[in-house]
Structure formats: C-alpha cells, structure tokens
Structure 1
Amino acid sequence: MTASAPDLTDRRVARGGVALVATTQYLIAEQVVASAWVDAPYSFGDNYISDLGVPECLVLDDRVVCSPQWLLMDAAFVLQGLIVLVAVWQLAWLLPRAWRWAATVLGGVHAVGMLLVGLFPGSIAETLGGDATRGMLHGIGASLAIAGGLVWILVAGIGMLVRRWRGVGILSIVLSVVGLVGMAGLLLAPTTPGADLGLGIGGVERLAVYPIIAWLILMGISAVLVHRGALRQEQWERMRAEDEAAAQAALGASGAAATDA
C-alpha cells in the first residue's frame, strides 16, 4: 500500500529547501580558505579537507599544513551541521513513516559529525597539535559525517522511491554509491597502493564527501521548486473551482428567470 502523499504546499517544504541550498556555504568557505594558503599552497589532491581547519602550522611527512583562515573553515563545518539539523527538522516528515525515523536519525548523525569536525579541528590521519582527545573527537566526527551522511542519503533515496519520487530517489542512491566508493578508497589508501584511484588522498576524500554536499544542494533546489509548483497547482484549482461555481450560479439564475417568465 502506498503512503498517502504529503502536502507539498506546506511552508516547511520551502524552509527546508532553502536551508539545504544554504549548504553551498561549505563549498564557498573551502575555496576561500584554500586560496588563503600562502606559505605552502593548499593541494586538493594531497591535503585532507580537515587540513583547512587546523590551527597549527606543521610540516608532516606527506604534506604541509598551514591554514591562515582556519577559523573560517571550522565555522563553516559547524554551520553546516546546524543547517542540516534545521533541514532534517523541516523535511523528514515528507518520507513514509517507516523511513522517516531512520532518515531523521541518520541526518542527525551526519550533523553531529560536522559539528565535531568543526569544534575539534584535526586530522583523520594523525594526531595534530599534541592533543590526543581533540584528535580522537575529530576522527569520530569525520566518521559520523561521512559514513552517516552516505547512509543517510541512501535511506532517504529508498524512502523517496517508496513515495514514487523516482527521479530524486534514484539520484540519491547513485550519489550514495559514488560516495561509498570514495569512502572505501579513503580507508584503504594508507595501506593499499592505488586505492585512491589516482586522485590523491584529498581527491578520494572528496569523492566521499562531495556527493553528500551535492545531494544536499540538489534536494534543496528540488524542494523549493516542488513547493512553488504545488502552490501554483493549488491556486489554479482554486480559480477553476471559483469559475465553475460562478458558472453554476449564473446557470441557476438564468433558469430561475426563465421559470418566472
């Protein structure tokens, strides 16, 4: 049995969509912070994403880490987590009940992971700054953000297919699979030659992360457009109903006049 269709004219659809579109701030912050590296240029292939948020300047065996705008990147990580929490709160009800709770929990896991990544800057590869606790919490956050995010969009995609929203459902599943390939490469790269698919450690990490960001933005755009379309449909149906009522009233009046004559 297909679950009853949700009311897409509900303002929560628009609010959640706008929130998801706002996750573009992550990509903007990443570009701004990366361009600020002067002492050693930031490499999207050789540097981890989290290197952008590390407050220390370090020369490591495989890369240099020195991010002048580290605070901006960490703020973007935290803001991303908060935006996702808002979006989940506004949009989770659109999915069928059986999938709604799973998607809510997984969206929350991803958001909490992003918060931890920003609040405890570090690296998933090693302990930076001599603070093991900070490094551990950062690693936990990165794992929750990436793994939780990819499973989240997979579950949401299946829920959309149940709703018979085939286009966005299939897109969600495809993006999740691409991200899972990237995550596997990220986990295997330190010990398995070629696991980074020739993209470098930073490149394969982005293969895991960018599908999540792309999904957030595309779902946001879809929600805004669907909400607008539903409002226009509702307005058209109201106008048609009013026209039909007016026509019936006119017909009744003419019939009454003919009877009187």
Structure 2
Amino acid sequence: MPTSTVDTGRVRSNRTWLPWATAVCWLLTLSYFPVSLVVAHGWPAGYSMSGNYISDLGITRCGEYTDRDGASRWVCSPDHAVQNVMFVSTGLLTFAGALGWARMWRGRRFRAGCALVAVAGLGITGIGLAPWDIRPQAHDTIALAQWFAQLAGMVLIMAEVARRRRGLAVGTMLAVAISVIGGVFLFARNHFGLGAGVSERIAFDTLTVWSGQVGCVLLLTPEGGRRGGRHPETGRSNRRRHG
C-alpha cells in the first residue's frame, strides 16, 4: 500500500513538472532573437542583416574579414561576449528541451529525432565556444553539422508529431522546407541576391523559431501535447472512456 502510493505520487509529479519544464526550455530559446538584435545595435559602424553573418556578432576582434566568395566586410562587435553566451545558452536550452520531449512521447524514430535535435543544440553551444575569428575551421564544421542534425532530427520527429498534433506537424514540415531553401541560398554563389546574412538566418534560425512553436504546444496542451497513446510512465491509455 505505501509503495503504490509513492509510485502514484512520482507519476503525478513527473506528469506535472516534465511538460512544463520542457516547454519553458523551448520557449526560452526565443530570447536569442532580441538579444542578438541588441548586440547588432551596438555595432559602431552598423550591422548589416544581409551583408554580415550571424557569427559576426560573436567575433571577438574588430577588423576586415573576407568570406568564401571573396567579399570583404567590416566587423566590430563590442558585445561579442554577450552574443557568444547567448549561443551557448540557446544551445543548452535546445539540448535540454529535446531530451525532455523524448521522455514524454514514445516512438523510436521520434526519440532518435529528439537526439539529433539535441546534437544540433550542442552545435549551437559549440559555435559560441569557438568564435569564427579564433577557430574558423572548427566553427564552420560545427555549424554545418548542426544544420544537418537539425534537419534530420525534425524529419524523424515529423511522423510522430503528425499522429499527435497536426498543427505542429505542419509547422515542422515548413521549418524543414524553409531551412533547406535557406541552405541552398547560403551555399549558392551570390546567394540569389538575398545576401549571406539573410540566407544564413533562413537556414539556421528556423530551428529556434520551431523551438518556440514546440514550447507553445507543450505549454498550452494538457499532458504536454499527448493525444491518445499511452502514458510513458504507467503504460496506461491517455484516452478517456465514455459511457
């Protein structure tokens, strides 16, 4: 009798705090956008959303830099430390959110997708720990790996999300498509006129926008967005019986 009571209390506790904590982690990633805007606003010579890369906000030394297309740009980010801390924290929040979500829903593909999104989160953290002007090769390699991980993760997650939350599934599908299009623009010569900065944001920042959508669904939906299926802790059906 006492054991049963303790087990039931643990299940109820988990059902209460896990969806909430996971949703909060996802939603807090959105702070990346206002913080980045503040850092960009602090540039003495002005920051160009199209001409400058996202990573330029975290470059630690002022100077003239040349990208792979041979185009040069002036970079001076006085608040680079703030931006790099933001990269690290956004990555860790993404990592925590993905792991929390993996515990809430079932499915091997879904959990594999969450694991890849968690890897993408670690990639964002790595970008903050390896500013481009200090470790350019490591920075670019981590960023590329992050992009592939976020795409593969969202694709694997999509099937389970479609079964449970169709609205989120549509958002996930759009995030994948937009990110792929951004990647094509980013690696194309002259970026189809959009500029490297805009192309890079379309390719990479879709993950953070999607994270906010996931956070809203988990926060506003009872039992963290579960619809039908079985509870991950008890194995009992989540569907209510009528009659």
Settle same-fold status: TM greater than 0.5: yes
Task: Return the offset for 1:103.
Answer: 1.5
Match of 1:246 in 2: none
Alignment of 1:1-261 (within 5 A): 9-38=15-44, 40-60=45-65, 61-122=71-132, 128=133, 131=134, 134-161=135-162, 163-188=163-188, 192-193=189-190, 196-227=191-222
**Aligned-partner SS, 1:64:** strand
Give me the whole-angstrom Cα distance separating, in 1, the residues matched to 2:167 and 2:111. 22
Greater Rg over alpha carbons, structure: 1
Task: Judge conservation of contact 1:9–1:227 (CA < 8 Å) in 2.
Answer: no
Task: Judge conservation of contact 2:218–2:224 (CA < 8 Å) in 1.
Answer: no
Provide TM-score, normalisation by structure 2: 0.79
Task: Judge conservation of contact 1:95–1:160 (CA < 8 Å) in 2.
Answer: no
Match of 1:244 in 2: none
Task: Return the offset for 1:96.
Answer: 3.1
1:192-247 C-alpha deviation (Å, 9 max, x unpaired): 24xx23221101111112211110011101110003798xxxxxxxxxxxxxxxxx
Matched-pair identity in %? 27
1:169-205 C-alpha deviation (Å, 9 max, x unpaired): 12101111111110121122xxx24xx2322110111
1:70-112 C-alpha deviation (Å, 9 max, x unpaired): 0000000000111112112211133432223312321222012
Match of 1:240 in 2: none
Give me the whole-angstrom Cα distance separating, in 1, the residues matched to 2:192 and 2:207. 19
Q: Structure 1: which 5+ runs fail to align?
A: 1-6, 123-127, 231-261
**Aligned-partner SS, 2:22:** helix
Matched AA of 1:19 = C
* RMSD, matched Cα: 2.5
**Aligned-partner SS, 1:23:** helix
Give me the whole-angstrom Cα distance separating, in 1, the residues matched to 2:148 and 2:195. 20
**Aligned-partner SS, 1:12:** helix
Q: Structure 2: which 5+ runs fail to align?
A: 1-11, 66-70, 226-243
CA gap 1:59/1:229 in 2 versus in 1, 3 angstroms: closer
1:138-185 C-alpha deviation (Å, 9 max, x unpaired): 112211222222222222222212x33211112101111111110121
**Aligned-partner SS, 1:63:** strand
**Equivalenced residues, count:** 211
Task: Judge conservation of contact 2:96–2:118 (CA < 8 Å) in 1.
Answer: no
**Aligned-partner SS, 2:193:** coil
Give me the whole-angstrom Cα distance separating, in 2, the residues matched to 1:146 and 1:29. 21
